[in-house]
Structure 1
Amino acid sequence: MRLLAAILLSLVLAAPASAHVEVRPTVARPGDTVELTFKVPNERADAATTGLELFLPPGVPAKVAPHPGWTSTDRGGGDIAFAPDTPAQAIGPGRAQEFKVTLGPLPKADRIVFKALQTYADGEVVRWIQATGPDDERPAAILDLSGNGAPEGDENGAWPLYLGGVLGLLIVIVGVAVTRRRRSVM
C-alpha cells in the first residue's frame, strides 16, 4: 500500500513540472498562416506574472490580437512585449492566460522556436528559451513545421498524459483489489 501511495504521489507531483509557456497548435505547415495561442501559466504561489516578452521569427508577418486588460508593444525584430494595464489584470498564482497571434505565411523550416521571458511582480524573470530536447528545464514553445509532429487529430501531443492517467488508474485498481483480497483472507 505504501508503494501505491508513493507511485500516486510521484504522478501528482510530476504534473507541475510541465508548466511553461506553450503554443497551440503545435504543428503547422510551411506557407500556412495560422492563429497561434500562447498559454502563459503562473506557476508561482507568491507572485503574479506582470509581463511576457515573446520572440517571434523576424521577417514573418504577425498580427497580435488584442488581449483585454493587457497592452502589447512591438519592439521590432519579432520582439513583442505584453504588460497588464493594472495590477489586477496580472496573471495570479495558479492561473493562466492565453495570448493570440496570427503568424504567416510561415517560413520553410523544420520548426519555429518561440523563446519567451516571463516576469513576476517581485522582478524575477523566467527565461523559457531552451530548445535542445525534451528534458530541458526551461523549454521554449516550439511549432513543428516538419510534418513529423503529432498525428492528425492529436495536435497537442497529449498521448503521454492519457497514458499516465490510464497507468495511474490501473495502479489504483490493483491496489484496491490487493487490499480487498488481504481483508477477505483475514
Structure 2
Amino acid sequence: MSAKTSRTGRRAALVAGLGIAGALLAQPVASAHVSISADDPVAGEHTMATFRVPNERDDASTVRVEVTFPEDHPLASVSPQAVPGWTITVNKQPLDAPVESGHGTTVSEAVTSIVWDGGEIPPNQFQAFPVRLGPLPEGEPTLVFKSLQTYSDGEVVRWIDTESPGGGEPEHPAPTLTVEQSSAAASESAVDGPDTAARVLGGAGLTAGLAALAVSVARRKKPQAPVPVVEAERKETARL
C-alpha cells in the first residue's frame, strides 16, 4: 500500500468518526427534557418525587420552572423541598366539590402548580427539585405534570405534549409519573380467592348433606304393603 493511499484511508476514517461523534453529541439535546421520577409511587400512598430540569442551551441559563398539577386527580398534600438559591411558590385553589383521595382522605383544596424562580441552571447542567406528594389517586395508572421552562433571554419551552398510542415520543413531552397498583387491593384479592373457594366447597357439602337426609327420611316413611282384606276374611271364616 502506498503512502498516498494510506493517508486517504486515514482521512476518510477521520471524517466518518467526526460524523458519528456529531450524531452522538446531538442525541442528548434531543432527548433531554423535564422529567419526574419517584420512589415507589403506589396508589393511596405518599411518595418522594423529583423533577429534573436540564438546561439544553449553551448560551442561556434556566431561571424559572413551573410545574402544573393534574386537575382531574387533585393531591391532598404537596410539600416541596427547599432548594438553595431558589424561591418556591405553591399555588392552590379550592375545589368545586370535595373528592376522596386515598385512605378516606377528603380533598377540598388542591395544589394547582409549583413555581421555582430566582435561581439559575447554567448551560449544560441540570437541577433537581424534590417534592413529597400524595396520597396518589387510586385507579389512575399515570399522572401528567405539564411544565414550563423559562430561560434568561426570555424563551419559554413548554413541556406539555402527551404521547399518543403508536405515535412515539413527542417533541416536548410532559413529565409523566407511572402509579403502581395499591398493594392493599392486591392483598384483598388474594385473601378473597381462597375464601370464595371455601364458601363454594362448604355450600356443595351442605347441599350433599341435605340430599342424603331427604333420602333417609323418605325411606323411613315408605308404607308397608297392606294384608289383602279378602284373604283375612277367608282365614277368619275357616276358624269358625
Q: Match of 1:83?
A: 117
1:92-131 equivalences under 5 Å are 92-108=122-138, 109-131=140-162
Instruction: Between 51-60 and 106-115, report the one with greater CA deviation.
Output: 51-60
Q: 1:32 to 1:93 in 2, by over 3 A?
A: same
> Separation in 2 of the partners of 1:19 and 1:26?
21
Gaps of 5+ in 2: 1-12, 93-110, 182-240
Structure 2 Cα separation of the partners of residues 16 and 38 of structure 1: 18
How many Å apart are 1:6 and its aligned residue? 3.9
* 2:59 matches 1:43: no
Work out the percentage of aligned pairs sharing the same amino acid. Answer: 38
Give the TM-score normalised by the residue count of structure 1: 0.69
Structure 2 partner of 1:138 = 172
Partner of 1:176 in structure 2? none
Give the letter aligned to residue 71 of structure 1. Answer: T
- Report the Cα offset of residue 18 of structure 1: 1.1
What's the counterpart of residue 152 of structure 1? none
Give, in angstroms, the shift of residue 131 of structure 1. 1.2
Distance of 1:50 and 1:96 partners within structure 2:
12
Runs (4+) off by over 3 Å: 1-9
Alpha-carbon distance change, 7 to 26 in structure 1, aligned in 2, over 3 angstroms: farther
Q: Distance in 2 between matches of 1:38 and 1:47?
A: 20
Q: Distance in 1 between matches of 2:81 and 2:17?
A: 47
| Cα RMSD after superposing both structures | 2.0
Higher share of residues assigned helix: 2
What is the number of residues matched between the two proteins?
A: 143
Match of 2:87 in 1: 71
SS at the partner of 1:103?
strand
Q: Is this contact kept in 2: 1:27–1:143, CA < 8 A? A: no
Distance (Å, rounded) in 2 between the aligned partners of 1:92 and 1:7: 27
Aligned residue runs from structure 1 range 23-38, under 5 A? 23-25=36-38, 28-38=41-51
The superposition leaves residues 78-97 of structure 1 with CA deviations (integer Å, 9 ceiling, x where unpaired) of 2111112xxxx311111111
Structure 1 unaligned regions, length at least 5: 148-186
The Cα offsets for residues 128-163 of structure 1, whole Å up to 9 and x where unpaired, read as 01112442000111111256xxxxxxxxxxxxxxxx
Larger radius of gyration between Structure 1 and Structure 2:
2
1:91-112 deviation digits (Å, cap 9, x = unpaired): 1111111101001110120100
Q: CA deviation at 1:126?
A: 0.4
The answer to whether the 8 A contact 2:70-2:112 is kept is yes
Amino acid at match of 2:156: V
Q: Indicate how the Cα distance of structure 1 residues 26 and 46 shifts in structure 2: closer, same or farther if over 3 A, else same.
A: farther
Q: Is the 8 A contact 2:40 2:47 kept in 1?
A: no
TM norm structure 2? 0.54
> Structure 1 pair 12/37, CA: closer, same or farther in 2 (3 Å)?
same
Tell me the distance in 2 between the aligned counterparts of 1:105 and 1:48. 34
Give the Cα separation in 2 of the matches to 1:120 and 1:3. Answer: 35
Give 3-state SS (helix, strand or coil) of 2:173's partner.
coil
Whether the 8 Å CA contact 1:64–1:102 is kept in 2: the answer is yes
